[in-house]
Amino acid sequence: MKEKIAQLKEQFNQRIDPIEHRDELERVKNEYIGRKGYVTQMLKEIALIPKEDRPKIGQLLNKTKQEIQHIISEKEKNFSKQVGKSKEIFDITIPGRNFGMGTVHPIELILRQTQEIFLGMGFRFVDGPEIELDYYNFEGLNIPKDHPARDDQDSFYINPEVLLRTQTSPMQVRTMEKQPAPVRIISTGKCYRRDSIDSTHTPMFHQIEGLAVDKDISLSDLKGVITEFCKQVFGKDRKVRFRPGYFPFVEPGAEVDVSCGLCNGKGCRSCGHTGWLEIMGAGMVHPNVLEMAGYDSEKLTGFAFGMGVERIAMLKYGINDIRLFFENDLRFLTQFK
Ligand code: DAH
């Protein structure tokens, strides 16, 4: 048994010296002092030798085990020190793991660009609630309970006085209630209507709202601001036109069109052969709206406008189905870097 132990030690010394890799060291460690290793095996064999020899052999074996353990841990320490220096342990040329960086959603891109454009023209950004009072969503905008304009905006009501906002226009009323003129704000966010889903409708969508109120604000101020916005979003060569349109909270009211970028206004399939694409509603703030918010409509005038962000994005990027924005398909989303 003594001899066997000496042999084991000798063999171990030969194995351990040339080891250069941590894996191999781990393997040899297991082979010798692991649960099923040689040393453990031999400790069990002690039971088989004569009783009087057992203490001595036991001591010798334990001492050998300690020596082996010591040599191995010294070597382990050495390896730890070497990490980073040795090419074989740490190969800096192996490509890293891809973290899959996201891209900004096209709707968010339009929102950011819009905010930048209007902030540049002296507008301030205000944020408002998506769960809104009937008063702000309709009544304060000159749309009383029995008004037929409510039919156009099938709403999600929570109770008779509370609903998911159908438009961002309530922020006009909320802002005017809070501050005296002059006002120059834009507000953006999600709106909700009970529309069935198709290529141009989703029950949740985004709007951008603008309002300016001051002394002597006129329709030409509205035209100037909107024209500048359209040129910055769609390009300098695009034309803008205002058609009469009806919205209860403006008088006069207008629908704003931008010339079709595909046919340059000549008329093609994408613009319904009219040469124009409708992009927003706008107008001069109705005196009733000013008065209800506590403003003197004899002294103050203002303009307002509102547009659908999905529609702007679809026209700008040539997207033909609104559902693409909400399907989270990376093949679509990663195109907008
Ligand atoms: N809120 C209107 C809608 O959702 C759009 C709109 C039209 C907003 C005219 C305005 C405006 O501020 O003046 O259809």
On average, the pLDDT of the chain sits at: 92
**Is the beta carbon of 281 within 6 A of some atom in ligand 1?**
yes
Q: Report how far ligand 1's centroid is from the alpha carbon of 135 (Å).
A: 16
Q: Is the pLDDT of residue 81 over 70?
A: yes
Q: Residue 140: is it exposed, middle or buried by C-beta count within 10 angstroms (0-12/13-18/19+)?
A: buried
Q: Which of 38-47, 234-243, 274-283 has the lowest mean pLDDT?
A: 38-47
Residue 169's closest CA among 193, 141, 149, 127? 141
Is residue 159 domain-resident? yes
The residue to mutate among 247, 280, 290, 310, having the most atoms of ligand 1 within 8 angstroms of its beta carbon, is 247
Q: Report how far ligand 1's centroid is from the alpha carbon of 244 (Å).
A: 13
Per-range mean pLDDT, top range of 44-58, 152-166, 178-192: 178-192
Instruction: Tell me the average pLDDT across 273-301.
Output: 96
Is residue 140 domain-resident? yes
Shared domain for 319 and 189, answered yes or no, is: yes
Q: Is the pLDDT of residue 16 over 70?
A: yes
Instruction: Tell me the average pLDDT across 34-54.
Output: 88
Sequence-distant contacts of 318-324: CB under 8 A, at least 24 apart: 319/106, 320/199, 321/199, 322/199, 322/200, 322/201, 322/202, 322/205, 323/197, 323/199, 323/202
Is residue 91 domain-resident? no
Instruction: Tell me the average pLDDT across 226-254.
Output: 95
As a whole-number percent, the residues of the chain with pLDDT over 70 amount to 98
What was the pLDDT predicted at 85?
57
**Beta bridge mates, 162:** 133, 159
Q: Report how far ligand 1's centroid is from the alpha carbon of 272 (Å).
A: 23
- Residue finishing a domain among 24, 51, 85: 85
Q: Whose CA is nearest to atom 3 of ligand 1?
A: 167
Q: Report how far ligand 1's centroid is from the alpha carbon of 169 (Å).
A: 6
What was the pLDDT predicted at 90?
75
Q: Whose CA is nearest to atom 8 of ligand 1?
A: 306
Shared domain for 253 and 197, answered yes or no, is: yes
The residue to mutate among 305, 309, 312, having the most atoms of ligand 1 within 8 angstroms of its beta carbon, is 305
pLDDT digits (tens, 9 = 90+) for 207-229: 999 999 999 999 999 999 999 99
What was the pLDDT predicted at 86?
54
Q: Is the pLDDT of residue 84 over 70?
A: no
Shared domain for 179 and 324, answered yes or no, is: yes
What was the pLDDT predicted at 83?
62
Q: What is the DSSP string of 176-216?
A: HHHSPSPEEEEEEEEEE--PPPBTTB-SEEEEEEEEEEETT
Kindly report the CATH number assigned to the domain that includes residue 179: 3.30.930.10
Domain of 324, in residue numbers: 106-333
What was the pLDDT predicted at 95?
87
**Is the beta carbon of 289 within 6 A of some atom in ligand 1?**
no
Is residue 164 domain-resident? yes
Shared domain for 38 and 161, answered yes or no, is: no
Q: Which of 40-44, 177-181, 332-336 has the lowest mean pLDDT?
A: 40-44
As a whole-number percent, the residues of the chain with pLDDT over 90 amount to 61
Instruction: Tell me the average pLDDT across 82-92.
Output: 65
pLDDT band at 99 (very low <50, low <70, confident <90, very high): confident
Q: Provide the 10 A C-beta neighbour count for residue 192.
A: 21
Dist CA 201 CA 8 (whole Å): 80
Shared domain for 288 and 247, answered yes or no, is: yes
Is residue 242 domain-resident? yes
Is residue 69 domain-resident? yes
Instruction: Tell me the average pLDDT across 274-293.
Output: 96
pLDDT band at 87 (very low <50, low <70, confident <90, very high): low
Query: How many structural domains are present in the chain?
Result: 2
Is residue 67 domain-resident? yes
Q: Report how far ligand 1's centroid is from the alpha carbon of 148 (Å).
A: 16
Shared domain for 75 and 114, answered yes or no, is: no
What was the pLDDT predicted at 246?
96
**Is the beta carbon of 306 within 6 A of some atom in ligand 1?**
yes
Shared domain for 56 and 183, answered yes or no, is: no
Shared domain for 120 and 266, answered yes or no, is: yes
